[in-house]
Amino acid sequence: MAESGVASRRACEQIILDSRVRINGQPAALGSKVNPFQDAITLDGRRLRPRRKLYLALNKSRGCICTRSDPENRPTVYHCLPPEWKNLYTVGRLDWDSEGLIFLTNDGEFCLRLTHPRFGLKKIYRVSVEGRVKDEVIQQLAGGARVGGENYQVLKVSVVERFERQTVLEVELAEGKNREIRRLCEAVGLQVNRLQRIQIGSIKLGSLPLGKWRTLTGSEIKSLIAGL
């Protein structure tokens, strides 16, 4: 029922307890086993049908937020989607001032598995920072830091480009806590000018334009689950 968009799982349990659901004409009970493609499941006499699961990759632009609405009327990732896909939810978040790869889906299990900290799904970010960064500072960044009572850890840091006025780094994380890279950079004295997520698991952002989306292929979805 939850997968069909009726309500949350907890609310669906109460709907079943209220005897509003029937399976092949018989009252449903909590824990009843059904085949949604063979059994007739009804709610208040209306037949429920399984909802097609969607998995999207979106290149989020800077200044766009990952919520359905915003009291400040800032654009959201949902402005990039067709109206009929407003029921999708983001798999994790990107800050409003960050950009890059983010997934959206209506598959709750997929979302939970990809965002649970114990699975440690790899994420790679391209980070542009102010000035020519010395090797010892990069080593500090790679060592992680404790900021505000919380530990932030980095899997890998590599230099992409290094100029007098700007250094471009690639930073690999296993979790991706709220504003983690920005807090790590601040802890070692680096000013972030641009932060872009370029890879989640085995899926790369590639040439996907800003503000555009594409569907994940079956093999990409399997590779994400297999990598956990």
SS3 (DSSP) at 201: coil
Nearest to 39 by CA among 59, 25, 53: 25
Nearest to 148 by CA among 124, 119, 183, 122: 183
Rounded Cα gap, residues 157 and 185, in angstroms: 12
Nearest to 123 by CA among 211, 195, 217: 195
Is 4 in contact with 108 (CB distance < 8 Å)?
Answer: no
Structure token pair of residue 79: 């402005």
**What are the backbone angles phi and psi of residue 160, rounded to the nearest 5°?**
-90, -50
What does the DSSP assignment read for 80-136?
Answer: GS-GGGTT-EEES---TT-EEEEEEES-HHHHHHHH-GGG---EEEEEEEES---HH
Annotated catalytic residue, options 18, 44, 70, 95: 95
39 a catalytic residue: no
Residue numbers annotated as active site: 95
